[in-house]
């Protein structure tokens, strides 16, 4: 089994309040992923593939033994969708089916991210067979979502007979690997990874990060917010 964290954020993620949403660079995330024994990660920054592209280039230059899935967490009109295996940005705010179609046109797969999280409206759409059938998987464990909402997502995947994946939704490198999707594959080439998800050749490793990690994350976010307020905040991806 090959281990992947399929939902990770870097300094290329932007939040309307906090500013830079992920506190570690793509390079730092790659190094941490190697330390915790992952075979691959998908850096899924908000509405941009810049972070995953930077990670991919770093891995290529250093010839590191890890697979980087180019992706993004795309905000559709109805909530967040993980776009895995894409090669260019997808415009945010599109209707849900248009977003999914844009992902598939690039050869990627569409995953309904944390369907019951407070800030998304995607779960009701998954009860519509014409919409649900267009998704490739549902994120049934997100390490940034409470147990009750993750359980609801898991039950939804079972009811709809959809593959279920796990992701850390890490915005801080120490949270990497707290939601792991284990894939029954020999090689970690992108096509094999995406195919294994679609075929539900999956086992999950689900663990919540310790409270100290979350305290560190939001202390850093608060510092970023303060820098923004005094005009010293950064607005670009870090390498």
What CA–CA distance (Å, rounded) separates 152 from 108?
Answer: 26
Residue 17: predicted pLDDT: 72
Task: Report pLDDT digits (tens) over 32-55.
Answer: 999 999 999 999 999 999 999 999
Q: Is 237 inside a domain boundary?
A: no
Residue 64 has pLDDT above 70, yes or no: yes
What CA–CA distance (Å, rounded) separates 232 from 147?
Answer: 37
Give the domain CATH number at 199: 3.20.20.140
What CA–CA distance (Å, rounded) separates 122 from 47?
Answer: 17
Task: Report pLDDT digits (tens) over 127-145.
Answer: 899 999 999 999 999 999 9
Which residue did the predictor score with more confidence, 89 or 236? 89
Residues of the domain holding 16 = 2-229
Least confident of 8-12, 147-151, 212-216: 212-216
Q: Is 205 inside a domain boundary?
A: yes
Residue 227 has pLDDT above 90, yes or no: no
Residue 221 has pLDDT above 90, yes or no: no
Q: What band does 6 get if pLDDT is binned at 50, 70 and 90? A: very high
Q: Is 134 inside a domain boundary?
A: yes
Residue 168 has pLDDT above 70, yes or no: yes
Q: Is 40 inside a domain boundary?
A: yes
Q: Is 180 inside a domain boundary?
A: yes
Residue 16: predicted pLDDT: 76
For residues 72 and 90, is the Cβ–Cβ distance under 8 A?
yes
Q: What is the mean pLDDT of residues 79-104?
A: 98
Q: Is 112 inside a domain boundary?
A: yes
3-state secondary structure 60-103: HHHCCCCEEEEEEEEEECCEEEEEECCCCCCCCCCCHHHHHHHH
Task: Report pLDDT digits (tens) over 148-163.
Answer: 999 999 999 999 999 9
Task: Look at residues 183, 120, 110, 178 and name the one whose alpha carbon lies nearest to residue 149.
Answer: 120
Q: Is 238 inside a domain boundary?
A: no
Residue 234 has pLDDT above 70, yes or no: no
Residue 185: predicted pLDDT: 97
The chain-wide mean pLDDT, for the chain, equals 93
φ, ψ dihedrals at 8, nearest 5°: -140, 145
What CA–CA distance (Å, rounded) separates 159 from 60?
Answer: 40
Residue 220 has pLDDT above 90, yes or no: no
Residue partners of 115: CB distance under 8 A and separation at least 6: 79, 122, 123, 126, 138, 139, 152, 153, 156
Alpha carbon 199 to its chain centroid, in Å, reads: 19
Residue partners of 135: CB distance under 8 A and separation at least 6: 100, 110, 111, 112, 126, 162
- How many folded domains does the chain comprise? 1
């Amino acid at each position: 089994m090959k281990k992947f964290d399929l939902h990770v954020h870097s300094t290329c993620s932007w939040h309307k309040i906090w500013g830079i949403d992920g506190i570690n660079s793509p390079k730092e995330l790659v190094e941490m992923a190697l330390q915790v024994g992952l075979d691959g990660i998908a850096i899924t920054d908000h509405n941009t593939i810049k972070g995953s592209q930077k990670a991919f280039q770093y891995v290529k230059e250093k010839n590191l033994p890890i697979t980087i899935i180019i992706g993004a967490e795309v905000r559709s009109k109805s909530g967040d969708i993980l776009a895995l295996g894409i090669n260019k940005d997808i415009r945010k705010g599109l209707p849900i089916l248009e977003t999914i179609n844009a992902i598939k046109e690039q050869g990627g797969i569409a995953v309904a991210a944390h369907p019951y999280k407070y800030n998304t409206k995607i779960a009701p759409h998954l009860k519509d067979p014409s919409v649900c059938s267009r998704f490739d998987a549902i994120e049934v464990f997100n390490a940034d979502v409470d147990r009750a909402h993750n359980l609801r997502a898991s039950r939804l995947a079972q009811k709809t007979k959809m593959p279920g994946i796990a992701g850390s939704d890490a915005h801080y490198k120490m949270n990497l690997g707290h939601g792991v999707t284990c894939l029954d594959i020999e090689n970690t080439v992108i096509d094999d990874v995406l195919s294994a998800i679609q075929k539900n050749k999956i086992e999950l490793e689900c663990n919540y990060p310790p409270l100290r990690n979350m305290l560190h994350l939001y202390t850093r976010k608060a510092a970023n917010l303060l820098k923004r307020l005094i005009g010293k905040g950064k607005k670009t991806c870090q390498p």
